[in-house]
Amino acid sequence: MPKLSEVHRSRVPRWRDVPPQHGRRFVVTGASSGIGLEVARALGSAGAEVVLAVRDRAKGERVAADLPGRAEGRVEVRVLDVADLSSVRAFADGLDRVDVLVNNAGVLGLPEGRTVDGFEATLATNHLGHFALSNLLLPRLADRVVVTGSRAHLHGDLDPDDLAWERRTYRPYAAYAASKLANLLFLAELQRRLTAAGSTLRATGAHPGSTATAITASSGSAALAWVGSWGHRLAGMEPWQGALPTLYAATMDVPGNTYVGPHGPGEMQGWPTTARRAPAALDPGLARRLWERSEELTGVAFPCA
C-alpha cells in the first residue's frame, strides 16, 4: 500500500476491486444507508456473508432485499443501536463466528443530549458503543476490527475527564471532532493491546473524505442536513467511492493500526492510501486514559485475547 511520503498523489493506484471474500463473515454497523450500505454491497458482490447491523429492522430488510447475496442467504439483518449498551450486549450475545467487524455507524451535528445510559449522545454513538461492541466480539473475531475516523479528528479536543461535556460549553461540531479523535485513539490502543496479548487479530481504520451521506440527518438542522447530503454531493464523492477506504481497510492485507483515506488534496476525494493523523491521535498516554474511562463507563473490558 503506497504511503503519502513514497508516492506522488497523482500516481496513487485507482483501487476499487475488493478481493474475493467467499466464506468470510462481516458485521457492518449503520449498514442501511450511506457508506455502510455501499460497504455491505461491495462485500456481498465479493462473495462475503454480511450482517447488516441497523437500528431500524424494516429499513434494513428493505435495503437488504436488493443486495448481492441476499437470495443465497449470505445477507442477514440484525437490530443494533450502538447508543444503547443493552442493545450492544444483546447484539453481541446473538453472534457466533465473525471475521471482520466494521464499526461504521455514526452521527454528526447532534444537539446536546443524553442516551438511555446517560452518555453524551455523539460520543456514545461514535465511540462508546463501538468500543463496547468491539471488545465483546473480540473472542469471536477471526481477523480484524475496522474503525471509522474522519478528517474532523484533526480539530478534535478530547478531555477523558469531561467526556459528557459537563464542564465545557457543548458545541455539536466540537463534540463530533472529539468523538472522531476518540476513534483514532481507540484504533491505536486496541492494536497495542492486541499485540501485547500476542493476538493475531488486528485493528485498522479508514475515513471517507468528503462523501454524500445522511450522517447529518439527525442533527435537527436543515443547513447541516443539506451539507451532509447535497453539499458533499456537489463538492465530494458518491458513497460507493467514499466506501473504498473502509473496504481497503477491511479486506486488504495491511498491518494493524493502518489508517486509510482518499489520496487527493486535503484527503477530501480520491483513491485509498495512507491517511494523515493529528499528533493527539498518536498520543499513547491519551489513548490509554480514554480506554480506561471507556471501560469505566461501559463496563466492558479488553478480553485479553
Burial of 82 (C-beta count, 10 Å sphere; 0-12/13-18/19+): buried
End-to-end CA distance of the chain: 28
262-296 tens-digit pLDDT: 998 899 999 999 999 999 999 999 999 999 999 99
3-state secondary structure of 146: strand
pLDDT for position 2? 53
Residue 192: how many CB atoms within 10 A of its CB?
A: 17
**Kind of pairing between the strands at 272-274 and 259-262:** antiparallel
Which pTM value belongs to this model?
Answer: 0.91
Cβ contact 201:138 at 8 Å: yes
Cα 273 to chain centroid distance, Å, stands at 17
Q: Is the pLDDT of residue 56 over 60?
A: yes
Q: Is the pLDDT of residue 92 over 90?
A: yes
Q: Is the pLDDT of residue 161 over 90?
A: yes
pLDDT for position 120? 98
| Positions marked catalytic | 176
Q: Which domains does the chain have, with CATH numbers?
A: 20-297 (3.40.50.720)
